[in-house]
Amino acid sequence: MPDSQTLGLVIAGTLAGLIALRLYWVLGRRTGAEPEPKPAPSPASVTAEPPVAGGGNGLLDIQLADRGFDTQKFLAGAREAYAQIVTAFAAGDRALLRPLLSPDVYAAFDTGIAARTQTPPAFVKLNDARIVASALHGKTAEITVTFAAEFTSGAVTDVWTFARDTDAGDPNWTLVATSGDLPE
């Protein structure tokens, strides 16, 4: 039977390992070659409903609920979804929009398409995408991303909230809210 000193060392080592792992999840890895922070673009676009603000530990909560979640893969997917959605909206492609949007957001986009009297500006490129809020509500993960994009009419900042049931087998996220304002 181990003596109390050895047992104390094992418990202390385990606690130190758990704390280090928690810090790694919260703070991530720093390589010393991080890019300089860019100033936030000014808001300019408004559509459906306001974004859902999240807590400070939202990404960590989402990672704990969904072990397959990866922030960089999410952002890459969000960038692709943004380009697909704005392009499909401009083309009036409701069939492409439907699986990417929640019913409420789809209804707002559908109304926008139906009310158009002229061709909307074309999407040129996406300059930046950043996570600005995240939260886990029960089993539903929500992440709000700000997009800085160029359209033929000029620069636009959109703030979109994506959601996903962490228990669902489908890894795809759905656009549940859009706004031109950053969450407070």
pLDDT by residue (tens digit) across 5-59? 777 777 777 766 666 656 566 665 555 555 555 554 443 333 333 333 334 588 9
| pTM: predicted TM-score of the whole model, two decimal places | 0.67
pLDDT the model gives residue 53: 38
Residue 36 in domain: no
Query: Which residue segment(s) compose the domain that 71 sits in?
Result: 41-179
User: What does DSSP assign to residue 30?
Assistant: -
Judge if 93 and 175 occupy the same domain: yes
Q: According to DSSP H, which parts of the chain are helical?
A: 4-27, 58-65, 71-91, 94-97, 103-115
- Assess whether 68 and 157 both reside in one domain: yes
Q: What is the pLDDT of residue 151?
A: 93
Residues 18 and 71 in one domain: no
Helices 4-27 & 58-65, crossing angle to 10 degrees?
110
Tell me if 128 sits within 8 A of 148, measured CB to CB: yes
Total number of domains in the chain: 2
Q: Judge contact between 40 and 171, C-beta under 8 A.
A: no
Q: What is the CATH number of the domain that holds 100?
A: 3.10.450.240
Residue 123 token pair: 């999407």
Instruction: Say whether both 71 and 118 belong to one domain.
Output: yes
Say whether pLDDT at 122 is over 60.
yes
Residue 137 and residue 161 in one domain = yes
